[in-house]
Structure formats: C-alpha cells, structure tokens
Amino acid sequence: MQDFNNKVAFVTGAASGIGLAISKALLNAGANVMMADINADGLQAAAKSLGFDDSRIGTVVCDVKNAESVNTAAKATIDAFGKVHIVMNNAGVGLGGFPGSIPLEDWRWITDINFLGVVYGVEAFVPLMQAHGEGGYIVNTASMAGHIAAPGMAPYHATKFAVVGYSEALAQELEKINIGVSVLCPTWVKSNIHNTASKRPSADPESPMPNSKVYQAMKNFVENGISPDVLADLVLKSMQAKRLYIFNDPEAKAFIAHRSKAIMEDYDACLEDLGLS
C-alpha cells in the first residue's frame, strides 16, 4: 500500500502504546481511523489527545476476545466511514508462568486475546475489504517472541508463534485478492504490556501482578524499549514496501540465526538417521 491518504483504518488496542502510535501515524499520513479498545475511558482520552477532527477519527469499545464485539466494531467502522482498507490487529496481553502451575482459564484468556482476537479481526474485515474492490492491508501484531523462545513466558510465546504462522498463511491466501499482510515482530516497546497480566482471570484482586523475576525483568525491558512512535513509522514504511515481517532490533537478529541453525542441524541429523541425507 503506497498511499494512505483518504484510506480508512481500524486499529485495536488503540488507547495506548503501539495502537495509539499507529493511529497517530496513519492520521498524519492522511487516513481516517477507527480506534478500538476495551478501555472506554482510556480510548476517549487517547483519541482526544491526537487532536484530529471527528470527521477523521472515530472510537469504538471492542473486546477482541469476543467475536461478536469485533463484528459490532466492524459495523461501526462501516457506518462511520463507509468502507475499510487497513486493519491493525494489535491488541494483546502478556502472561508467563511455570508449566503445571498456569491456570487453564489464564491460558484461554491469553489465547482468546492474542491469537483468536487476530482471527476475529481477519474474519470480520476481509469480506468488507473484498466488497469495495479497492484492495487493503492487514497488520497483525506478533512479537520477536513469535520467532524465538525463552523460559518463563510459554503462553505468550505460544500465542505469538501462532500469529506469525497465521500471518504467513494469510499473506499467501490474500495476495490474489489484493490484500497485503505484514506481521509486526518487535522486541521491547514502551507500552503497557507488562501490566496486562493483572487482568488475567486468576489474578488476586488484592495483589493482581505476578511476583516473579520474569515480570520484573519484563517491566525493566519494556520501560527502556523503543518508542512506539518510531515503531509506528516503521510499520507504515513496511506496508509501503510490502514486507511480510517487520523487525526492529539488531541485537535479536543473532537469535533468529541461532534458531535457524539449530533447526537445520536437527533436520539434517534426522535425514541422516533415515538414510535420506
């Protein structure tokens, strides 16, 4: 997508962090934006902070783990702007824990938001993009955690790996109907992701955040992460360049190479055992 002027975008998780920054970048590039978030008060404040006329910006409360809520938000976008060209499936949460100690209700919570929330966005908006015949673009927010894994955050890794694989398939499937796909895979970004575990179903109301070294480290990394505004500019440039993957961190590149090497070593070893090398 080369030109964002007069395009219509739908952005989830738009009340803060990456979603808010992408909304701002799209508005500055000439697009009209429907900002969606589960946090009604935060969403209104965020939209107001951008300083754009109501004819260019809209808001809708949306719980991405609920398919009907996403469908309602899609209808609100069409009612407000007539069509939609860009969908940013960005809303997400973080969750960690040791295997055998993570409540299944928490697993369902993070899966419903981080992965199925993306699926619901795609299923709701692809037919609407097809209907106007002008093409479109989908950006799904995954993470570098969708390519490499570390101890302590298995639920987060599982959902982000799912988003990467899903996006890779979508890119092949939607190209023939002129809908581009990118998957956003950042490392640490200044946002509220490190606090989202307080909303997990099993959270103690008196002490909602997990008390672990993993979460303390995550908090430190996030607070010292890349500016979401810088990342948002990269997202728009990557859409224009039709990049499937959007990366930001030069230090993480070595981890990708290490994982690739480990995969190929085991692949070759298995073929050798089968006498197929």
Q: Give the model's pLDDT for residue 232.
A: 98
276 lies in the same domain as 144: no
> Residue 2 falls within a domain, yes or no?
no
Interacting residues of 55 by C-beta distance below 8 A, sequence separation 6+? 32
Which positions are catalytic?
156
184 lies in the same domain as 267: no
233 C-beta neighbours (distance < 10 Å), count: 17
Q: Whose structure tokens read 């404040």? A: 45
Furthest CA-CA distance within the chain: 67
User: What's the Rg (C-alpha) of the chain?
Assistant: 19
Domains in the chain, number: 2
Q: Give the model's pLDDT for residue 271.
A: 98
Q: Give the model's pLDDT for residue 192.
A: 83
78 C-beta neighbours (distance < 10 Å), count: 17
204 lies in the same domain as 263: no
144 lies in the same domain as 271: no
Q: Give the model's pLDDT for residue 213.
A: 74
Q: Give the model's pLDDT for residue 195.
A: 85
100 lies in the same domain as 216: yes
29 lies in the same domain as 163: yes
Please state the φ and ψ torsions of residue 224, each to the nearest 5 degrees: -110, 20
142 lies in the same domain as 269: no
> Residue 3 falls within a domain, yes or no?
no
Tell me, what amino acid is at 229?
D
239 lies in the same domain as 261: no
267 lies in the same domain as 195: no
- CATH number at 57 reads 3.40.50.720
Q: Could you tell me the CA-to-CA distances from 119 to 108, 111, 170, 177 in Å, in that order?
A: 15, 11, 10, 18
Q: Give the model's pLDDT for residue 205.
A: 87
> Residue 37 falls within a domain, yes or no?
yes
CA distance 135 to 157: 31
CA distance 23 to 228: 11
Q: How far apart are the first and last CA of the chain?
A: 43
Q: Give the model's pLDDT for residue 217.
A: 76
Please state the φ and ψ torsions of residue 136, each to the nearest 5 degrees: -175, -170
Which structural domain, as residue segments, surrounds residue 12? 8-246
> Residue 75 falls within a domain, yes or no?
yes
Q: Give the model's pLDDT for residue 266.
A: 98
- Report the chain (277 residues): mean pLDDT per 10 consecutive residues: 94 97 98 98 96 94 98 98 98 94 97 98 98 97 96 96 98 97 95 88 84 74 88 98 97 96 98 96
> Residue 178 falls within a domain, yes or no?
yes
- Confidence (pTM): 0.94
Q: Give the model's pLDDT for residue 220.
A: 79
